[in-house]
Copies of this chain bind each other. A is one copy, B any other.
């Protein structure tokens, strides 16, 4: 067996997206890479899984030496299929991204990129989701690479606490303007939707989801603060959603 770590790479923008190609190029310098990623963009899919239709996997060759599979499913499906059907052994690490666009703050809830990382975490695999604050297909990912390498090597060296994965967001700045890496908490923020209502040629109304991101959190320990101030943000994220602090209060209610 190779001493190099086995790294599973996935994303939600699809296997041909420039973001995942950049992530693969970094991971090739660290370990043995297997890519299992969606065959088409899955943005906004949240933690969807495919329960009512079939899944297809196809071995593909896009660039480089790594083994790659394109999959008809969601990011979470890709991780499940990789672990159960494709890989001979449990990977040492799963990385997802680099997403074209932010997954900071409340966006973690809607993020396919992070759902893949969470799915790997549920399987007991150390996992990291990477996102760049630039929605463009032709975004420049070069300045992300050294930060991604640093964070990945620390995760491989230390492991991650049980039940925790990392949500990493990178500011859209020149390399020299990035101030460093900051461990953060998720900012309290929200999308204020402004649906764009239109009428189709048959006279029927329809809507496009639009909206404005609103940060309601003044804390200087949040991912939003870090990104606004030129840092790479790293939020440890958990999939035990229990609000433990609320249990005592609820136990005072008259329920029985």
Contacts and interface: CB of A to CB of B under 8 A. Distances in A.
Interface of A: 41, 43-52, 54-57, 76-77, 80-81, 83-85, 106, 108-110, 115, 118, 122-123, 150-151, 154, 158, 160-161, 163-164, 167, 180-181, 183, 185-186, 188, 190, 193-195, 197, 204-209, 234-247, 249-251, 253-256
B110 A207 contact: no
A244 B185 contact: yes
A109 B205 contact: no
Given A47-B46, A195-B81, A195-B85, A57 B180 contact: no
Contact of A44 (B50, B122, B154, B195): B50
Given A52-B41, A238-B243, A106 B81 contact: no
Given A77-B209, A85-B195, A49 B46 contact: yes
A251 B185 CA distance: 12
A207 B54 contact: yes
A85 B180 contact: no
21 contacts: A44-B50, A46-B48, A46-B49, A47-B47, A49-B209, A55-B207, A56-B205, A57-B205, A77-B209, A81-B195, A84-B194, A109-B122, A150-B255, A158-B253, A163-B188, A163-B243, A164-B246, A183-B255, A188-B240, A238-B241, A239-B241
A246 B161 contact: yes
Nearest to A160: B246
Nearest to A196: B54
Contact of A195 (B84, B160, B185): B84
Contacts of A85: 195, 197, 207
Contacts of A122: 106, 109, 190
Contacts of A151: 255
Contacts of A80: 193, 195, 209
A250 B237 contact: no
Contact of A106 (B41, B209, B239, B245): B239
A193 B84 contact: yes
Contact of A207 (B57, B115, B160): B57
Contact of A109 (B183, B239, B255): B239
A185 B247 contact: yes
A64 B31 CA distance: 61
